[in-house]
Structure 1
Amino acid sequence: MARVKLRAARLTQIAVPLRAPLATAHGRIHTREGVLLELEAHGGARGFGEALPLAGFDLESPTHARAALADAARQLVGSEIDSADAGLGAAARDLARAPAARAALDAALRDLEAREIGTSLAASLGANARARVPTALLLGAEHADGAAAEARRAVAAGFRVLKLKLGTNAFDADRARVAAVREAIGNEVALRVDANGAWSEATAAAHLEALASLDVELVEQPLASEALEALARLRRASPVPLAADESVRDVASAERVLRFEAADVLVVKPAAVGGLGSALSIARRAREAQVEVLVTTFLDTAIGRAGALHLAAALPPGRHAAGLATGSLLADDLAPGPVPKSGAIALPSDNGLGFSPDPAALTRLTRGETLEVCA
């Protein structure tokens, strides 16, 4: 990257409603709140990132994220930056306890960097980026009949991997929902579940046996995030592959999961681990340990989902589809894409992320005043 001088940074508070509340073991999600970050170089190029912290992942609050990004912007605007990593290093102190904010700055810097050199974000992250990334679809319906109907629509739209959240009800109700979806989609479509750490080791063992009988391909985070010894024991006896999700919060926590041999798969969310750079480091360590990495998102806007899409495209393909098709759960969005088609998402053709926020959508979703830091 040629040295770039930042002319301005803009921090816009946003609130994005969901079409319907999404039940998880951490609670119901009604709205995604946080900050859209825009960086502008003196030459006019712009880069975007977002910080929308979500409960249950040891992230900062949206207010803390905004304050951390404001401090980082004051540190960086007016200075010359020769790489995204250098920019993150300069702002490291401001972002030390704000992983969602760090992820937003990381994405915005890398988006700006890719646009400056005239390439896609994926190509800047990995030399052999894929053009399309297969993805699972998260089903939002809470009851068996609704989940089955939603699953049939998803399969008709071309999805070959579906996902359900568990742990919000008694397991009998959860099992009935999984069984209803399996009956609706047959045996040719993969089905995974996410317990968000809701189970104990003793109950998880019994639940896994039941889920194996329903041909579940993967169970994400069956136990609490810190219970790595228990997760390792559970994995050794499990009839279903297990994935660590909330347990993967940064490079150090990912290394602990690998050291304990506690998971068959690491779920990596760029917004949870401090950004795309940290996610790449985790992927490298997992590859050395011969553990698969599965890139997913929170309920991000199109900006956050696009960053995760480019990351997934830059990594070698694994056995399990990425988890990027959550846009349909939002009632509104910052931009129209990226949109799944036939169970996969194509990378945008333009440089960087491939698109920018739609101005009209940003106006609709803005809450409060935009903070602008200028050189």
Structure 2
Amino acid sequence: MLKYYTYRLPFKQPFRTAGSEFSHREGIILVYKEDGIEAYGEIAPLPGFSEESLEQIKEVLKINHEHLQESIRTGEGKQTLTVLDQIHRFPSLSFGIDALLHDLEAKKANKPLGRFLFPDFPESVKANATLSIQEPAQVISKAKDLTEQGFTTLKVKVGKNFNAELKLLQDLRHQFPDLAIRIDANQSWTKDEAIQNLKALDSLNIEYCEQPVHKDKFSDMAAVQEAIKTPVAADESLRNKKDATELSELKAGRLFIVKPMLLGTFDTIFVTKRTADTHNIEVVVTTMLESAVGRAMTSILAAGLGNQKRAHGLATGSLLDNDISSDEWMNNPVIRFPEKAGLGISLDMEGLKKLF
């Protein structure tokens, strides 16, 4: 039996990114039960990033509930997913259904999902933490706290006042000479500003800069990368397979920031990874601030597809005031995967609201 549940999880404090501010995270949890097995998927479009809305997703699920349930029962869920993906082109819907189908298959095989998907699945994957720009003393204090927790990579949000940000990054590097520091400009700079600013950071050994220019200006991304030595990472620019191909051919960066909830089906995610590999582009995988179900799935994909030498954007559970699972393994600086079948988590069903 297939059921849908909604959640609304508040953040500990308002979360700001790419010009948007979020007080809470909303989404839908898919739960399928069969012969004592319970499989999960999550659908969580993020306003400002995803083109589809949660209300659109709810309508599609309402119309297709019986057919999707029956197709999963008869082993034809993948075919139904393909049709829904082609008709609606709602990546978060496709990702949630595909995650549920893979979780179900892994549990039927009694294998952890990571080892079910990837023959050489690692035991763990590193996560980075994120610093917002505040008073320098606060940033240094927060960085000290995070490194003491075990984080070896910190991402710093920039793009508002570069002179102040430069000073702060210099202080961070002085205080933490061995720390991997990456920055996220969130499309804040013009091409010329990006080149000038990133050249000013040359001595600080910045790991990479995410999205220095507007997401649609692929040629500007390429020009910035050609002019500087710091690696550029495509984040908001990477929305589908077509973007991946165009960015690769233009050499518009040396890394892809892959958000599975934004790309859609596992086929699309794996094709994006192959495109990156073909063009010698590294992959870093990040969540979209989902609940534990989405983060567990994203962590598995990060370990299986992402660059193992880099940390990935997975430690976002700490931003939430509460969650739908009490499992904590995906909330650490080094995520170690449990020896449990499927996703490796259980849900606290209390608090979830049945959709219909």
Q: Does 1:56 align with 2:15?
A: no
One-letter identity of the residue aligned with 1:117: A
Deviations 1:62-115 (A, max 9, x none): 212222333343331123453764342243345x23111211111111111111
How high is the TM-score relative to the length of structure 1? 0.88
1:181 aligns with 2:165: no
Matched, 1:371 2:355: yes
Q: Secondary structure at the match of 1:325?
A: coil
Say which structure is richer in helix: 2
Distance 2:242 2:172 in 1: 37
Shift of 1:124: 2.2
Match among 79, 84, 88 for residue 91 of structure 1: 84
Q: Please, which runs of 5 or more residues in structure 1 have no aligned partner?
A: 1-7
Deviations 1:310-332 (A, max 9, x none): 11222364442211111111111
Aligned equivalents of 1:207, 1:81: Cα separation in 2? 57
Counterparts of residues 153-232 of structure 1 (less than 5 Å): 153-167=145-159, 169-184=160-175, 186-232=176-222
Task: Write the mapping of 1:323-362 to structure 2, written as runs, cut at 5 A.
Answer: 323-336=313-326, 337-341=328-332, 343-360=333-350
- Check the 8 A contact 1:13/1:35 in 2, yes or no: yes
| Alpha-carbon separation, structure 2, partners of 1:81 and 1:263 | 44
Partner in structure 2 of residue 133 of structure 1: 125
Q: 1:182 to 1:22 in 2, by over 3 A?
A: farther
Q: Describe the shift of the 1:72–1:221 C-alpha distance in structure 2 as closer, same or farther (beyond 3 A).
A: farther
Q: Secondary structure at the match of 1:324?
A: coil
Aligned ranges for residues 238-249 of structure 1 at < 5 Å?
A: 238-249=228-239
Give the TM-score taking structure 2 as reference length: 0.92
| 3-state SS in 2 of match to 1:322 | coil
Give the Cα–Cα distance (whole angstroms) in 2 for the partners of residues 354 and 84 of structure 1.
22
> Which of 200-209 and 57-66 deviates more?
57-66
Moved more, 155-164 or 212-221: 212-221
Once the two structures are TM-superposed, the CA of residue 140 in structure 1 deviates from its matched residue by 4.4
Measured in 2, the distance between the counterparts of 1:23 and 1:176 equals 22
**SS state of the match for residue 108, structure 1?**
helix
CA contact (8 A) 1:76 1:91 kept: no
Q: How many residues align?
A: 354
Seen in structure 2, the aligned counterparts of structure 1 residues 170 and 81 have a Cα distance that, compared at 3 Å, is: farther
Q: Is the 8 A contact 1:232 1:263 kept in 2?
A: yes
Q: Residues of 2 paired with 1:316 and 1:77: CA distance?
A: 32
For 2:169, the aligned partner's letter is V
Q: SS state of the match for residue 70, structure 2?
A: coil
Q: 1:5 aligns to what?
A: none
Secondary structure of the structure 1 residue equivalent to 2:26:
strand
On the 8 A contact 1:68/1:98 being kept in 2, the answer is no
- How far off is 1:148 after superposition? 1.6
Indicate the residue corresponding to 1:148 in structure 2: 140
RMSD of Structure 2 on Structure 1 (CA): 2.1
% identity of equivalent residues: 31
Structure 2: 5+ residue stretches without partners:
none
Which residue among 13, 30, 36 is the counterpart of 2:6?
A: 13
Mapped partners of 2:56, 2:286: distance in 1:
24
Match of 1:311 among 301, 305, 322: 301
